[in-house]
Every structure is written in C-alpha cells, then in structure tokens.
Amino acid sequence: MGKKGKRDKKGKGAEKTLAKMEKKVSRRAKKEEEDLEALIAEFQNLDAKKTQVIESSCPPPSPRLNCSLCAHPERDELILFGGEYFNGQKTYLYNDLYIYHIRKNSWAKVDIPNPPPRRCAHQAAVVPTAGGQLWIFGGEFASPNGEQFYHYRDLWVLHLATKTWEQIKAPGGPSGRSGHRMVACKRQLIIFGGFHESARDFIYYNDVYSFNLDSFTWSKLAPAGMGPAPRSGCQMSPTPEGNIIIYGGYSKQRIKKDVDKGTLHTDMFLLKAEGAGKEEDRWSWSRLSPSGVKPTPRSGFSVAAAPNNRCLLFGGVHDEEEEESIEGDFFNDIYFYDIGKNRWFPAQLKGPKSEKRKRRRGRQAEAEAAGEEELQLPPPQGPLEIVKEVVAEDGTVMTIKQVIPAEDKDSSGSEEEEEEDEEEGGALGQAVEPCPRSSAMVAVKHGVLYIYGGMFEVGDRQVTLSDLHSIDLHRMDEWKVLQEMDPKTQEWLEESESDEEEDDDVEGAEGGEEEEESSEEESEDEEGEQQHPAVQPGEAQAQYVARTEQYWLSLARSHMGPQAKDKKVLKVAHAMAKTFHEDPV
C-alpha cells in the first residue's frame, strides 16, 4: 500500500471520528433545538400576519452583526438581510430586509410576506436569473440569554423582481450549521465548512455540498486529494474557470474538560472541477503556495470579489488567548489576492492629488501677481531606498526593497507645502478610513467596495458598529464615509443589571421594530442619564482609550471634511466624546 494507502487509511479514520462526534453533538443538541423550535414558530406566526409587500424609506439599519450584504446583480443596490445584536445581556435576532440605494445614498425597508425565520451567521449569494435571485442557506438562532442555539439547514430564495420569498425543500442537503461559506459558481451553489454548537459540545465541518440551480437538487461532493481541515469563517472565492479557492478560517478543539483551544488557519487550497460539463462533475483538492505578502493570521475577516481577477480580504481580529481572558488586536487593512498570479499583496492607499495641485497653483499665481521671486528649491537628492523584512507563514524572511526616485521641480514642493500636506493628509486625515474591526459586511458593486458595520471589543464590552464606508478599488485614492454611526445606538448593560431583564426573553429575542421604538422612548425619557457603563481603571482603561480614540476622531473628521485642520478635528472629537459620556481623546 505504501504512503498513499496510509494516507487513505488515516483519512477514513478521521471521517469515522467526525461521524461519531456529529452523532454525539446531534443527540445533545436535539433537546435544545426542540425548545427553540417553539420560539421560532411563534415568531413565524407573527411574520405570517404580513400579507403584502411594503417598501418604505427608513433610517439606516440598527447596529447588527453576522448579517449578509450582497450587491444586486442588475440594479445599483445593496441587499442586507438578518443579523444579530448583543447588548451585554440579551441577543436580538433579525430577519428584516433592507435595500441600500447607492445613487441616492439612502435606505429602504422591505416587508415581504413569509420571510425566512430570524437568523444570523447564515450565507447569501446572488445570481442574475429572472431579474435577480438572493439565495440564503443555514445560520443560527440563539436564545435571548445566548446559551442555547438552533442551527438551520433550510434553503431560501428571494425573487428580487417580484419581491417574493420561497423556501426550497430538497433532500440530501448539508446538516444544520453556521459560520459556513457559500458561493455561486457556474449555475451551482457550493457550500463548505461551518460549525454546529450546543451548550456543551461543538463540531467543525470540512464537507462540500453542491446545489444545482437548474435541477434544484443537492449533491455531496467527494473531492480527491487532501483537503482543508474542518473550519468556519474562511475565505471562499470562485474563479472564472469554475474552481473554488479556500483560505484561512478558525476552528477549536477540546483539549480537556471545559478547556478549548482555538486555531487560526492560514493555509490555502484550490477545489478544482475536473469534469465540468459532464453529467457528474469530479472535483479534487490541491494545496496552494501563494507568493507575495500574505495577510497576518486572523479570524473574523471579510472577503469579496474584486476587479481584475482578484479577491480581497478586509479587517479581522487576532486573539491572544490566555488562561482566563482573550485580548484581540483588530485590523482595518485590505489585502488583494491575484487569482491568475497566485499572489497576495497589501493594498496601498494612494490619496487624492487634485487638492494639492490646486493649492500649489494658487500659491504660484499669488507669487506672480505680487512680483515675488521664485522659490529657491533645494538641490535634488538621490533616490531613496526603503528596505522592509516580512516574515512569511513558514518562517521565511522576505526582504522587500522599494526605491523612491528623486523628485523633480514639478513634483517637489516647499517645506511649507509638505507641512500642510501632513496636516491635511496625515495621521488624522487617514482617520476617515474605517476603524479596525472584525465581522464587517462587505460587497462590491461597479468596482467600489462597500463596508458596513462590524465590531470591536474593549475588555468585556462589545461595540457593534453600523457605519458605511466605500472606496473605489480601481483608484484606491480615498475612503468615503456614506453613513456615520450614531453613538446613541450603542447600548451596553452589565451582567449585574440582568435581573431586571429576565422576564422579557421573547421580546428580546424578537428584536425588530418594537425593540427600536422602545429604545427611542427610553432615550428620550432618560436624556441626561449615562448610556455607557463606567470603564474599569488600569489596563482596561488604556485599552478603551486606544480603541475608541480612533472612532471619535474618524467621526469628527467625517463631519468636518478632509480639509479641516487637525487641531479643530481633535477639539470636535473631544466635545463629541464628552457629549456621550466618553472622554478618551
């Protein structure tokens, strides 16, 4: 048999272990899911009261995580569905549908009869069939206290042209899960990975399923070769040839009783369709070894298809796990993966140049009108060489040299110009970009990347964002703030306050309009009352300052515009933070 036989035997052993674990988790989760099914049915009865389609203009969606954001295949619109919000005590689940009109920079809420049940951590994909279809699979429903979970295995389609929901009931699909990935590829929906969790157990998957969009049938794929280890939250991107790329992800395993160890995956695989066009497609796994500068290890990143045969990765978090706590470093960087060249590289923001040119031309005109002598420019300097060392995943040290050529008279400027450029485009000027976050929702339309929401943590407190940013992926010149986050929507309740809330489990899990209306009334009645808990002293205070400072500066900068002076922006950020009982800047 040799090495190949040993690998096959090892693979079969792993499959048996996985099957046993799945049965164990299924038995323990059955009781939990039966309890939650009654609650889900109650919510569906409420949704059944909707009898007609109602689309109405509305404020931006409330803060939420793990929803889906997709670009309409034919219109200049983004489609947001579902999600969850946790305020420190309760978990709120949603199944509402929002449309973002790109040209108008406005939101509309669409109430459609018989929608899917409330859920988060599902997957959505759009196809251009019959005026556009939005397909949704899986996800989870959580009890209000966040201790019980129901994992969906249902498949839904939203017909965008007629605004109707339809549940597709086809046998042989994946088991219930969340954190999986799904992409549309050549008239198929391909699903990979995910996890299933109960109160005491969990299991991660690495299986692959295909749903045929013509025959409406499921198939479990059995690719040849060694594939990725079980994981959730990975990157999954289709290629023009009909293949699938998998990168990264997260999984955990139990090392002893009540002690779990998480793993950040940084490997990369290609799932190749060997028999495309035949009655039964044959698939195979192969490992990729990309060149370039890979993203640093992280979880909770977001991915989207980018122009020029590329896909992109945004944000995420790297958690430092200790015995009793987890501290996370959050990111707001962008990495591109060139599919054709099998190469990673970080995005570089070029910055707008038109304003600098206008200022220089204005100064030259003033100098000529006053009869002043031309500015004496310093002699040109030689080229500048910048050397950076980057440590790759396998420990290899890569040396990157960047040579910046000497500036000529037309491109160089005076010290005064450089100082002004630093003031208007320096550290604070870059604060217009999204603050570091994980679990952001992303979509690309007409070569423009849109980033909605996400979250970051400060000690035990979770800050759920609802801002909307965009950047032109062709020009990569500047971020645009399309929607600012309203700090009034931030609510965090300490665990010690939970006794007052325990009677409202159903209302809390339902979320939606009733929750938003009641929170508005409470905020009016308690206008002068502090909305955020006091920050703990010491290390937690330092973390809070570091992570909220950039948010307030970003908010102030977006209010005042990129041309505002740094000192004025800092003053406004200080005033805004103080208004909302936070003073980190």
Q: Which residues contact 580 (CB under 8 A, 6 or more apart)?
A: 487, 488, 531, 532
Whether 79 shows a pLDDT value over 70: the answer reads yes
Q: What is the mean pLDDT of residues 265-288?
A: 84
Do both 332 and 468 map to the same domain? yes
The CATH number given to whatever domain includes residue 295 is 2.120.10.80
Q: What is the mean pLDDT of residues 382-394?
A: 46
Q: CA-CA distance, 67 to 513, in Å (whole number)? A: 17
Please answer whether residues 47 and 114 qualify as being in contact, where contact means their C-beta atoms are separated by less than 8 angstroms.
Answer: yes
Q: What is the pLDDT of residue 488?
A: 74
Q: What is the mean pLDDT of residues 320-338?
A: 82
Do both 555 and 444 map to the same domain? no
Do both 341 and 233 map to the same domain? yes
Q: Is the dihedral of CA 308, 311, 314, 317 positive or negative?
A: negative
Please answer whether residues 22 and 175 qualify as being in contact, where contact means their C-beta atoms are separated by less than 8 angstroms.
Answer: yes
Three-state SS sequence of 86-153: ECCCCEEEEEEEEEEECCCCEEEEEECCCCCCCCECCEEEEECHHHCEEEEECCEEECCCCCCEEECC
Q: Which residues contact 232 (CB under 8 A, 6 or more apart)?
A: 178, 179, 180, 193, 194, 195, 204, 205, 249, 250, 251
Helices (H), 309-453: 354-369, 415-425
- Please name every residue paired with 319 in a beta bridge, in sequence order, or none if there are none: 328
Segment among 21-30, 112-121, 403-412 with least mean pLDDT: 403-412
Closest by CA position to 238, among listed 185, 295, 314, 285? 185
Q: What is the pLDDT of residue 532?
A: 36
Which of 516-549 are b and which e, b meaning 16 or more Cβ less than 10 Å from the residue's Cβ? Answer: eeeeeeeeeeeeeeebbeebeeeeeeebbeebbb
Three-state SS sequence of 210-247: EEECCCCEEEECCCECCCCCCCECCEEEECCCCCEEEE
Give 328's pLDDT tier (boundaries 50, 70, 90). Answer: confident
Give 244's pLDDT tier (boundaries 50, 70, 90). Answer: very high
Secondary structure element (H or E) that encloses residue 311, with its range: strand 310-321
Do both 94 and 228 map to the same domain? yes
Whether 60 shows a pLDDT value over 90: the answer reads yes
Please answer whether residues 397 and 404 qualify as being in contact, where contact means their C-beta atoms are separated by less than 8 angstroms.
Answer: no
Q: CA-CA distance, 489 to 244, in Å (whole number)? A: 39
Q: What is the mean pLDDT of residues 74-99?
A: 95
Tokens of 336: 């591109």
Query: What is the total count of domains within the chain?
Result: 2
Q: CA-CA distance, 486 to 60, in Å (whole number)? A: 10
Residue 35 inside a domain? The answer is: no
Give 575's pLDDT tier (boundaries 50, 70, 90). Answer: low
Residue 403 inside a domain? The answer is: no
Please answer whether residues 522 and 538 qualify as being in contact, where contact means their C-beta atoms are separated by less than 8 angstroms.
Answer: no
Do both 577 and 456 map to the same domain? no
Q: Which residues contact 488 (CB under 8 A, 6 or more apart)?
A: 523, 531, 580
Domain boundary among 463, 487, 511: 487
Q: What is the pLDDT of residue 190?
A: 97
Residue 532 inside a domain? The answer is: no
Please answer whether residues 553 and 573 qualify as being in contact, where contact means their C-beta atoms are separated by less than 8 angstroms.
Answer: yes
Tokens of 106: 């406005």
Largest CA distance in the chain: 91
Do both 135 and 237 map to the same domain? yes
Closest by CA position to 399, among listed 293, 267, 294? 293
Q: What is the pLDDT of residue 260?
A: 80
Residue 525 inside a domain? The answer is: no
Q: What is the pLDDT of residue 36?
A: 79
Do both 483 and 548 map to the same domain? no
Closest by CA position to 247, among listed 227, 267, 275? 267
Higher pLDDT, 292 or 323: 292
- Residue 62, Cβ neighbours under 10 Å: how many? 21
- Residues 518-574 have pLDDT tens digits of 444 444 444 333 333 333 434 444 554 555 666 667 766 665 666 677 776 776 676
Helix (H, G, I), strand (E, B) or coil at 557: helix
Q: What is the pLDDT of residue 231?
A: 97
Helix (H, G, I), strand (E, B) or coil at 156: strand
Residue 149 inside a domain? The answer is: yes
Q: What is the pLDDT of residue 144?
A: 84
Q: 448-458 and 202-212: which strand pairing? A: unpaired
Higher pLDDT, 17 or 257: 257
Closest by CA position to 220, among listed 150, 270, 286, 283? 283
Q: CA-CA distance, 86 to 144, in Å (whole number)? A: 9
Residue 511 inside a domain? The answer is: no
Residue 366 one-letter amino acid: E
Do both 171 and 246 map to the same domain? yes
Segment of 2-6, 168-172, 368-372, 499-503 carrying the highest mean pLDDT: 168-172
Whether 66 shows a pLDDT value over 50: the answer reads yes
Domain that holds residue 442: 51-350+433-487
Whether 104 shows a pLDDT value over 80: the answer reads yes
Q: CA-CA distance, 578 to 584, in Å (whole number)? A: 9
Residue 499 inside a domain? The answer is: no
What is the chain's mean pLDDT, rounded?
77
pTM reported for the whole predicted model: 0.73
Higher pLDDT, 375 or 454: 454
Do both 178 and 255 map to the same domain? yes
Residue with tokens 């409420």: 46
- Residues 190-234 have pLDDT tens digits of 999 999 987 678 899 999 999 999 999 999 999 999 999 999 999
The one-character DSSP state at 501 is G
Segment among 170-174, 176-180, 419-423 with least mean pLDDT: 419-423
Higher pLDDT, 273 or 381: 273
- Residues 403-440 have pLDDT tens digits of 444 444 443 444 444 444 444 444 334 448 899 999 99
Q: What is the pLDDT of residue 549?
A: 67
Residue 208 inside a domain? The answer is: yes
Residue with tokens 């995910």: 194
Do both 454 and 570 map to the same domain? no
Q: What is the pLDDT of residue 12?
A: 54
Q: What is the mean pLDDT of residues 491-500?
A: 62
Q: What is the pLDDT of residue 206?
A: 96
Do both 158 and 64 map to the same domain? yes
Give 269's pLDDT tier (boundaries 50, 70, 90). Answer: very high
Higher pLDDT, 252 or 78: 78
Whether 128 shows a pLDDT value over 70: the answer reads yes
Closest by CA position to 316, among listed 253, 233, 215, 236? 233
Do both 256 and 175 map to the same domain? yes
Please answer whether residues 181 and 123 qualify as being in contact, where contact means their C-beta atoms are separated by less than 8 angstroms.
Answer: yes
